[in-house]
Structure 1
């Protein structure tokens, strides 16, 4: 069993799988030419204008972080040596519910495999109105983004059928 997690101001995310997995959540990162030059590989540099026009580097950052977490390189790796272009183990997505980009890198799983075999759930964390402590959080009903019915990961047959589970929790504003 492998797991990885990430968080930022907008959300936290956890991935659990049968093989090495790296996951990252990243809110908007305003475009900065110097930062782009420090993290982009030669094959990523042609995308400079796209990132500059969008004024957002979160997609590139998120993909790099997911990949280095899955491979075990960690944040000490030179990001100019971590090429995300053509990396079949990477999938990135966003959600209308959470203002962030999510990227996952799953050893041995392609983008299409992720879309067909991963279970992605989004849960909103919010103050629990029934609790006397205002800081207590409750998990609101989660929306299941998988196209197929959610399986119980505690059963081995279900776990083989759906080898990756990703849960995203959005954080309350303020």
Structure 2
């Protein structure tokens, strides 16, 4: 009996190795794309939280001001001599608009609790998906809600 020893590698082995390497590279590329997408989304959420906390700090600094806002469109625009609260609301509107926000509200409840809600379109991040892979909401709208008690310091709220 003649026995042959294999010397070198066959074309099939090369093709299989190439296939495995291609699948691995495609997986790494998909991972990188998702990382970029979610990093951008997290950055936007951070900026929205800064805007909300900035507005809450302005409300705390001027507890006698009237800060109720039913929608972003209801925020005051340029006036000749705005009050502190009006200027704060104009700045808030501009900040939310600059971030691409679609809506924002400021609600006062129990005369001391303010709720600031900012909504924006986060279509780059995609739909909200749970851990088991089911889609929570078919829209790409994201919402940030900040609720805080504001001490009036003896001053009545207007």
Q: Same fold (TM over 0.5)?
A: no
Structure-1-length-normalised TM-score: 0.32
Structure having the higher strand fraction is 1
Structure having the higher helix fraction is 2
| Larger Rg, first or second structure (1 or 2) | 2
Structure-2-length-normalised TM-score: 0.34
